[in-house]
A and B are shown apart, each in its own frame.
Chain A
Amino acid sequence: MSWRLRFGLFIFIAFFSLITVRLFYWQVVRAEELSSIGEAQYKKRVIQTVERGEIKTSDNFPIVANRFTYLLFVNPKEIENKQDLSEILSPILEMEEASISARILADRFWVPIKSQVDSKTKEDIERLDLAGVGFERQIKRFYPEASMSAKLLGFVGKDEDGADKGYFGLEGHYDRQLRGKGGEAVIINDAQGRPILSKLEDNSGAVDGRDLVLHIDRAIQYMLDSTLKDGVERYGAEGGMAAIMNPKTGAMIAMSSFPSYDPAKYEEYSDKLYRDPFISDTYEPGSTFKPLVVASAIDAGVIEASTRCPICAGPITIGEYDIRTWNNKYRANATMNEVIVHSDNTGMVYVGRSLGLDRMISYLGKFGIGSLTGIDLQGEVVPSVREKGSWYPIDLATASFGQGITVTPIELLTAFSAIANSGKRMEPHVVSKIITPEGEVIEIVPKVINRPISDRAAKIVTEMMVNAVDEGEAKFAKPKGYRIAGKTGTAQIPVAGHYDPNQTIASFIGFAPADDPKFLMLVVIDRPTSSIYGAETAAPIFFEMATNLLNYYGIAPNE
């Protein structure tokens, strides 16, 4: 072989080796990096916004729906005059010029300026044909009934990653059902940046959120909202709350509380207003607790409606405390029926003593006092019942008439469902069914939690409560011709180790028609000023609403 041939071969091998090394470098050493750079040139990742599920009332009306809004963003590298752009956008977006300017000056390709921009503003800006300004579609919650049942619904805010997240009420409890599953789709573009249909990859598995259908009756909710709001204003109260349940199923028909907030603008309100006090606030129930204790004693067989109270002739002294009636009037040998009708504290001390501490604690547990009710709303709390060893005789006495023991309103309402429902206590539920995007309907069936008292005990206490309405302090407000079972409550508020004599929580709980209840309702008024008594504040609101309900359900008077 001549040297020329050898030289040629050497050059050939050298170049071949160089190419091999270079290819190895590209295809092995930097393979991943170059591959992603290449993909970035023809692949486009698109965030797939999924639609959050709607929340509908029992008539299928979306009380929470969705609306299109836009995120306005800019590409600072495409903007010629940043100062001019800030001046133009500032009045349209109702933002400080300096705030826009500071964002535009960022050395980035994509800078968000304002989210939740409505369609009209978007069209106004698009007409200006501004370079470097773009929009990204967003979905925002829309409340057709404005702030109706705001605390029940909760609101949608952001989580730590900036994604939508439900907080409080239904939005919080059912967040995973409502939010669906977001995803990314990859579109492969041609040289001009147009997507190629055959190469569209859509394997992100994005799924829209599920809809919730509630037991909430929109008409009743509207009536309750307006009746309660008027009542709170009329009686100069700091606030108020009420809820209506179907005691036979546990279905929550309406829930309302004031003061409230607008869930569409939740950030403008104090976070103290976000909680639903009906499930999150605790209070001493006062006399509304008496029917539960009497029902327990009847069920235990220690008293009957006709049993007479041997210690009701005057105040009862326990240690350093005197137990008195609310009006300081005493009825010697009052029957248990009279004890409930006249809301006699001394009579309740007798009932408490007859029942005894062990049975009292056992029945409180059976009525769900000290346990979560399981209502499908985020934010339910449960005040604990004191340990058995820390009960003193005065505690048993005061607990028998609803002082010195705390409950949440939902706890009390659920406990009373046992009296209204032949002894069966129902689990409260706001949602009746969940509907998947494919149309599958998941029914939530009524659930009996337990049976704390017998049917007989429930009937006797119901009759006592009917008498309490017909002959008690609130009889003036009762609609004529109906049998309504109810009980007033006026609980003093513990302040720094004693009870404030001028501030009360006034309440009324009851159900109608008494013999075949269609609804069970609790009204709680916080610190009314026109009168401190439940009979003069909460009871009129209860009966006004009860009249509306009886008319709404078309129930004719039968007395």
Chain B
Amino acid sequence: MKRPKLLIGFMLAVIMALSVVRIGIENSISTTGIELVRLQGELDEYKKENYQLEEKYLAESSLTEIASKAATLGFVDAKKTVYLSTPLPLALKQ
């Protein structure tokens, strides 16, 4: 009758140990919901900021905007393009 007692004792110990582990895990994840909400909010905020910065950057670097600013600064279209002609190759004396 000694062995069943040992077995029962061992099983009770395992149950108790697992219960303690479960309490520990539940305790640790019980706050992750709050953390998740915080992280989700933070992520949304960064995404929003990223979109706003990208929008500003694209609007500022658009050709429409650059052309408008260039005109305001007094730049005008080039009327004539000058090409520098390169000398034609000469036949080398044999």
Contacts and interface: CB of A to CB of B under 8 A. Distances in A.
B51 A68 contact: yes
Interface string A53-96: 00000000110011110000000000000000000000000000
In this complex, the interface size class of chain A, counting residues with CB under 8 Å from chain B, is: 20 to 34
Given A66-B51, A67-B51, A144-B59, A195 B83 contact: no
B61 A61 contact: yes
B94 interface: no
Contacts of B73: none
A62 B58 contact: yes
A219 B59 CA distance: 16
Nearest to A65: B58
A195 B37 contact: yes
Interface of B is mostly: helix
B63 interface: yes
Interface in B35-94: 35-37, 44, 47-48, 51-52, 54-55, 58-59, 61-64, 67, 78, 81, 83, 85
A446 B42 CA distance: 45
A556 interface: yes
Nearest to B58: A144
A2 interface: no
Contact of B37 (A65, A67, A137, A194): A194
Given A62-B58, A68-B48, A68-B51, A222 B34 contact: no
Interface string B21-39: 0000000011011111100
A102 interface: no
Contacts of B37: 194-195
Q: Interface range on chain B: under 10, 10 to 19, 20 to 34, or 35 or more? A: 20 to 34
Looking at B36, B67, B85, the one whose CB has the most chain A CB atoms below 10 A away is: B36
Contact of B63 (A62, A189, A194, A219): A219
A65 B52 CA distance: 12
B33 A190 contact: yes
Given A68-B52, A119-B48, A148 B64 contact: yes
Contacts of B36: 194-195, 197, 200
A119 B52 contact: yes
A28 interface: no
Nearest to A221: B63
Interface in A110-151: 119, 137, 142, 144-146, 148
Question: Which of B55, B63, B67, B78 has the most A CB atoms < 10 Å from its CB?
Answer: B63
Contacts of B83: 556-557
A544 to B, nearest CB: 11
- Identify the interface centre among B34, B37, B58: most chain A CB within 10 Å of its CB: B58
A146 B64 contact: yes
Interface in A159-213: 189-190, 194-198, 200
13 contacts: A62-B58, A68-B47, A142-B55, A142-B58, A144-B61, A144-B62, A145-B62, A148-B64, A194-B34, A197-B32, A197-B33, A556-B83, A556-B85
Query: Which 10 pairs show the lowest CB-CB distances between chains A and B?
Result: A194-B33, A144-B58, A197-B32, A556-B83, A144-B62, A222-B63, A68-B51, A551-B81, A145-B62, A197-B36
Interface of A: 61-62, 65-68, 119, 137, 142, 144-146, 148, 189-190, 194-198, 200, 218-219, 222, 551, 556-557
Interface of B: 29-30, 32-37, 44, 47-48, 51-52, 54-55, 58-59, 61-64, 67, 78, 81, 83, 85
